[in-house]
Structure 1
């Protein structure tokens, strides 16, 4: 294994004979890929797994995903991303490099990050999309975990997402929080909530009318979460959610995702077959 990373995943898909197939499922070190899970019709669906149950101080992980023309695949982490304490100041790092070629569709469901007390974590996700490609990308961050159950005891956590569509930068988001320096209950941070999640959708079908329809749909939900939908400058929309529990956030996320999948692409409701009441608080 390369000494540069403690875990590596390289998974690739191609569209052949009217269906999508995994053409490469390579893993090294502390990373694993599940077998194909038959849960969503003919679409390939895989869990991306950390064998240690979490990331240790100073570890580095790399995930590379490529979908060739017209391929459609679903990927998700098996559990929330636990970041163990970093007592010596070494940052734990995760790099995700995604390529979605012409008319392909990647659904990449990253669970929220749960940093332990004194954890330091930097995650970078880069997506390169060709014309006609589509993307659903999720992510999140919780109040973390500490032995005394006090919230926000971790160090600095950063989550960066950069998306290019047909060589044009269409989304650039950089979340940085440091509870040692920031008042996490204040406006612009967690504002008294425990869990933050986001859903990014890049698709040429996204427009103002669709965003208005999605807002009207979410307004029908009985949720205690605070959320909002923004239209990006080109080809996309973003849902942000603040809530008291990961489970409540997931309910809003999945209703939003399923409504988009059904209304825009006539796809059946997705079932990730995970314990969505796990993780967070």
Structure 2
């Protein structure tokens, strides 16, 4: 059985977080495991409340799933605070294939990672990662620079690579302009993938992209192969967004819709 584990927050609206990760894993034929770091009250438009789980609860979940399953890849999403960042770093198996989605702020502007936790994320988890998948605001924080062009995306990716990551995917959805461009930066150079920009916004696309990348690694793909597969997956999900708004639709390669408004 191929398994992947998501360490993230629960989204009561089902559009992001643990719920979106599980649907993505299922669509891609991977058995999904979870470690819940926080419970949120949210829908596709807003986060109304957040309740963070204590570090002991996060550790217990991680140790229990690691003892019971052979986990091909792990991914982190919302970690909420420095205490949970530290416990994830200590409880993560040494040989873990780790995808870090450095979730900091929700689409609606709600803070999902305490400011004092960013340094711990950069120092304790990024060096353990197979790949980090920041959007542009997150890349600006981790790379300590402003990003307004594709070239600056690549530069920010290189700076995050210098923190110890083996690869970085900077997602370009926040850039103005025509096509969207995502940039993979690793020790061998960079790869840019472009796609159509749709005239609406969706909730949960970053979670689904990183979950698809984690599922690809769990299935034995390289980071480059996973990057290409995850980009194709999320392009379909955004294109198929019901009504052109709200949450994306998760569609497996056979065409089954798992998720939509």
With normalisation by structure 2, the TM-score equals 0.39
Q: Which has the higher contact order (CA 8 A, sep 6+)?
A: 2
TM-score between the two structures when normalised by the length of structure 1 = 0.38
Determine which structure has more spread, i.e. the larger CA radius of gyration.
1
